[in-house]
Each structure stands twice: as C-alpha cells, then as structure tokens.
C-alpha cells in the first residue's frame, strides 16, 4: 500500500512539474492599467492564469510547452461587455416568441449567441435580463459544457406593474394576470425586498431594474420614472446584503436621478441625462453604460415597416439618435464610463462596433479600451483577476491585426481568443 501511494504521489508531482505552459510571443501589448502600448513581449500562460510577462521573444523551455506566434499582432486582455441579453436577438417575430418558444428553445438559441460573443473577443459579459435561462447558461459556460464568455447575470430584471420589463405588457387581458416579485414585478418596498431575495434564490449575480420607461416594451412612454425612491432604496439596500450591485435601465432624467441617489451603481443608456444628473453620478461614483450601438440599431429598424409594433416606432425614432450625443457630453463632463452595447437588440457578435462609436463621439481609443477592461473589472469585483495582462490574472487574451489605438475598428475583427488559458480562436 505504501509503495502504491508513493507511485501515485510521484505521478501527481510529475504532472505538476511537467504541466504544459503556453508561450505567447506578442508584437504589441495593450497595457490597460497604465494606458500604454508595449512591444516585443512574451506572455507565459500556466493553466488558466498568466504566469509571467517577459521582455523579448522567449522560446518554450521544454518540449511539452507550446508556442503561439502573435508577433505581427496587437494583444489585449479579453474584453467585457457590461450590457448584453444572451437569451435572444431582435427579429421581426420577436414579439411573438413569448407565445411560440419554450424554455428549451430559448436555451438552445442562447448557445450560438454565447459562442459568437466569445469569438468576437468578449471573454466576460454582464447579462442584464431574460427569463432565467441566462442563469443556466452562466452555469453551463462556467462548467465548460458550453462555449461562451464568463457571464455575470441578473436573471429576470425588475419592473413595476406595466413598466418596462413587466413580462405581460401588451398581452391579451386574459393572459395578463398579476405578476409579482417572483416574476420580477414589484409595487412598494416590501415587494422590492422580496424580489431581490428571489433573484438570490434563483442564482443571479446582480440586480437589474428598469428605472424608467423603455423603447422596446409594448407601452407608451420611453422615459417616465417608474420606481419611487423608496422602492429603489429598498432594492439597493437588500441587494447589498446579498453581495449584489444594481444596474438601472434609464432613459428619462428624473428616473436616473432617483436611481443614482437610491444607490444604483450603473445607469444603462442614459439618453436624456441632464448636466445636473451627470454631476450627481460623479458625486455618487455611478457609471454610465452607453449602448450606442443599440440606439443606432433601433433607429434603423424603426424605419422598416412592421419590424416593431406600432407603439414602439415613435419611441425608437426619438430615443435612438440621442444616445451617442449624451454619451459624448457625459464623458467630457467626467462621468465614469463602462463599455456596454445591449447586444441582442442588434446581432450578437458585433459588439466591437461600439468602440468606433465611442471614439467618434470624442473618447480616446485607449480610454474606450479601458472602459471594456479595467473599469468592468472594478465594478464586478474582478480587479485582481481580469481586465489587464499581468501575472496572476486570468489568461483571457485576444489579438487583432492592427494597433487599436491607431485604428479602433480593428477590434471589430478579433483574430485570436483565449479564455482562461484555453484557445478558442486562432
């Protein structure tokens, strides 16, 4: 028995000593922490983490280690999109799908959306609302059963009765019913607390509320405030008890102010944000997640006859064109920016287009890249694991043909993707 244990321990030790390392020779590296471009480095990956970054082009030290030659490319940490919806994708039949798709259909559809997102270079995403399939998708991705990014999910987002994200808006009266906290609909502080606790029970990572009306809900207003300040504080206070941060969909200014003063961490869209609200966001250390791509997409789709229900068209034509300009003003006023696109409103996998729109609006390319790397890591409490290329961090590594600080659109065509030390695209 002693001899057998010795042999087993010897095998375990040998497998540890001889574990394969991956040497990635990189022509340029984007140093997101310091905002610099470094040249001629070798990233050594061991398991799911970065072991070290060495000067020059280092060769593997033994025959079991492998070499990846990215000397003609620019290497970055994997990107993070802080606003996606992996359960679906906009199409002319979207508003019929709640009546035609089963949960299994939604789950199978989400697999391709997750994969194409990872292949676009986004190794982490924050999913801000679906039916709850997004929680199962998160688990399947984490367990390696599904190819996709690391997912932080809100599960089902929270709304008020008739508000944006009330799942029965526009239904036949016989089908509307009276959804409550379990279904993500609240009215009053006690409902709010119960809804947050239900999300915890369901397995969510964070809370998402719809602080104002929205464009794509089958309801009249795109911007009216839909939560009282007391309801928002009940949500954020309870969320803090459970280790959640809170994201708030918001187009209208009053709803945004209530959300930020109530303790929300991120404002999604922020379309009609006033300068006063921008200053309040700075005071409360809240971030804007702009979703410019989605704004442009809904504007174009609203021009196609019958693509959206009639009640949505005027909202899309009003709100969509304003998001980019508001983002520009907020950034220049010093509001913190976290990269997010609302993928699912437009086709998944095209997330990289947002960078071009941000730079077009006046944000320097390096700042735009940082908004998709070190800033999300801070919000998601991943500062020591994600968002930069450094020893001890996850080996979430992507590469593009050109230097993105010189041509930001190169991020729309990611050539190499590694997540947690595993190569998914080369």
Proportion of the chain above pLDDT 70, given as a percent: 96
- Shared domain for 184 and 309, answered yes or no, is yes
User: What CATH number is attached to the domain comprising 18?
Assistant: 2.30.40.10
- Look at residue 168 in the predicted model and tell me its pLDDT: 82
- Shared domain for 32 and 179, answered yes or no, is no
- Shared domain for 274 and 145, answered yes or no, is yes
- Read off the pLDDT of residues 230-264 as tens digits, 9 standing for 90 and up: 999 999 999 999 999 999 999 999 999 999 999 99
- Read off the pLDDT of residues 82-102 as tens digits, 9 standing for 90 and up: 999 999 999 999 998 988 999
pLDDT band at 19 (very low <50, low <70, confident <90, very high): low
User: What CATH number is attached to the domain comprising 125?
Assistant: 3.20.20.140
- What is the arithmetic mean of pLDDT over 356-360? 98
- Look at residue 10 in the predicted model and tell me its pLDDT: 42
Examine the pLDDT at 426 and tell me if it is beyond 80: yes
- Shared domain for 161 and 189, answered yes or no, is yes
- Shared domain for 392 and 266, answered yes or no, is no
- Shared domain for 104 and 114, answered yes or no, is yes
Helix pair angle (253-261, 229-241), 10° resolution: 40
- What is the arithmetic mean of pLDDT over 388-417? 98
pLDDT band at 176 (very low <50, low <70, confident <90, very high): confident
Examine the pLDDT at 400 and tell me if it is beyond 50: yes
State the residue range of the domain holding 319.
79-379
- Shared domain for 83 and 72, answered yes or no, is no
Examine the pLDDT at 174 and tell me if it is beyond 80: no
The structural domain count of the chain equals 2
- Burial of residue 36 (number of CB atoms within 10 Å: 0-12, 13-18, 19+): exposed
- Shared domain for 108 and 38, answered yes or no, is no
- Shared domain for 74 and 215, answered yes or no, is no
- Read off the pLDDT of residues 39-60 as tens digits, 9 standing for 90 and up: 999 999 999 999 999 999 999 9
CA distance 348 to 368: 20
Q: Using an 8 Å Cβ cutoff, are 166 and 179 in contact?
A: yes
- Look at residue 61 in the predicted model and tell me its pLDDT: 87
- Shared domain for 237 and 341, answered yes or no, is yes
Proportion of the chain above pLDDT 90, given as a percent: 90
Nearest to 22 by CA among 426, 348, 338, 334: 426
Nearest to 179 by CA among 157, 197, 201, 200: 157
């Amino acid at each position: 028995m002693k001899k057998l244990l010795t042999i087993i321990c010897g095998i375990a030790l040998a497998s540890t000593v001889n574990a394969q390392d991956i040497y990635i020779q990189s022509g340029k590296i984007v140093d997101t922490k310091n905002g610099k471009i470094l040249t001629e480095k070798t990233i050594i990956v061991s398991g799911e983490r970065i072991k070290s970054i060495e000067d020059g082009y280092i060769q593997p030290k033994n025959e079991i280690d492998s070499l990846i030659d990215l000397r003609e490319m620019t290497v970055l940490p994997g990107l993070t999109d802080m606003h996606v919806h992996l359960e679906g994708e906009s199409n002319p039949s979207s508003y019929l799908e709640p009546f035609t798709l089963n949960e299994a259909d939604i789950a199978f559809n989400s697999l391709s959306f997750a994969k194409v997102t990872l292949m676009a270079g986004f190794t982490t995403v924050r999913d801000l609302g679906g039916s709850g399939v997004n929680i199962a998708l998160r688990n399947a991705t984490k367990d390696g059963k599904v190819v996709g990014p690391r997912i932080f999910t809100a599960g089902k987002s929270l709304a008020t009765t008739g508000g944006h994200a009330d799942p029965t808006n526009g239904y036949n009266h016989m089908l509307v019913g009276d959804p409550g906290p379990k279904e993500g609909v609240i009215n009053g502080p006690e409902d709010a607390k119960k809804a947050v606790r239900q999300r915890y029970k369901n397995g969510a990572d964070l809370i998402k509320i719809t602080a104002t009306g929205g464009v794509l809900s089958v309801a009249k207003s795109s911007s009216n405030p839909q939560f009282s300040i007391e309801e928002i504080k009940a949500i954020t206070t309870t969320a803090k008890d459970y280790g959640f941060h809170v994201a708030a969909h918001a187009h209208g200014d009053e709803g945004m102010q209530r959300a930020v003063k109530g303790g929300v961490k991120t404002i999604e869209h922020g379309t009609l944000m006033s300068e006063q609200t921008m200053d309040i966001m700075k005071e409360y250390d809240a971030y804007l997640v702009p979703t410019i791509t989605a704004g442009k997409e809904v504007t174009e789709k609203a021009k196609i006859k019958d693509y959206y229900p009639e009640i949505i068209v005027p909202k899309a034509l009003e709100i969509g064109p304003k998001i980019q300009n508001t983002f520009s003003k907020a950034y220049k006023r010093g509001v913190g920016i976290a990269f997010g696109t609302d993928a699912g409103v437009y086709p998944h996998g095209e997330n990289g287009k947002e960078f071009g729109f941000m730079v077009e609006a006046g944000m320097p390319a390096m700042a735009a890249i940082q908004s998709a790397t070190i800033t999300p890591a801070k919000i998601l409490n991943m500062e020591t694991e994600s968002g930069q290329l450094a020893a001890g961090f996850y080996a979430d590594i992507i590469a593009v043909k050109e230097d993105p600080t010189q041509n930001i659109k190169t991020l729309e065509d990611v050539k190499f993707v590694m997540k947690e030390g595993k190569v998914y695209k080369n």
